[in-house]
Amino acid sequence: MSSVNKTSVHKRKRVLTVVSSVSTNKPNCSTTLLSIYVINAAALSKPHAIEQLATDLTSYDTDVAIITETYFKSKHSDNVLSVPEYKLYRRDRKRRRGGGVAVYVRNNIQSVVWTKLADDPNYELLWVYAGGVVFGALYHPPRALYSAYSLLNYIESCIDELSLEFPFAPVVLAGDFKQIPDCDVEQRTGMQQLV
């Protein structure tokens, strides 16, 4: 006869890639690496999707989660979409089905939404400053109401403003870019692809 320890918790194997960081001598630079979870959810509004997300975030010990295609609308309250131990930031798609982005940040990490001075609600792009890092959640739909060129201009102007406001903060832009080639984003923003 064997006994089972009911208090033990099964944790998933980490499949995340370790990103090496460059140490800097800049003032107020955070040296703590945050774990990031990125997923195209194709509807977090469906039954039990939030519970599944909560399980994943806990299992992977995630600090920041970037979610695209949330399908959240104004009728979905934050209370229903919340994940225990995480703060939710969201940008819902207006006047069209689907889309939307969200960022979940662990409660013990200071975080705040950053909004561009000339914010354009047509872009499904949400910026969150958390733990000394700027995170961008982007969803570029297949049938966008704007050109890829205008989106790249918008991202570039966001990064220009961000670099003035947070001069030493690393910037992470993640999500679903659809048909936009990675090299175009890299050339326009100076960012480097990690995946």
pLDDT tens digits for range 95-154: 777 788 999 999 999 999 999 999 998 899 999 999 999 999 999 988 888 899 999 999
- Tokens for 60? 């992977």
**Full domain range(s) for residue 97:** 36-189
Domain assignment present for residue 13? The answer is no
Domain assignment present for residue 142? The answer is yes
Sign of CA dihedral 74, 162, 68, 110: negative
pTM for this structure? Answer: 0.79
Number of separate domains in the chain: 1
Round to the nearest angstrom and report the end-to-end CA distance of the chain: 48
Domain assignment present for residue 146? The answer is yes
Domain assignment present for residue 5? The answer is no
The domain that holds 169 is classified in CATH as: 3.60.10.10
* Beta carbons of 137 and 68 less than 8 angstroms apart: yes
The SS3 of residue 105 is strand
Domain assignment present for residue 82? The answer is yes
- Tokens for 3? 């006994």
pLDDT level of residue 60 (50, 70, 90 thresholds) = very high
- Tokens for 36? 């990031």
Domain assignment present for residue 181? The answer is yes
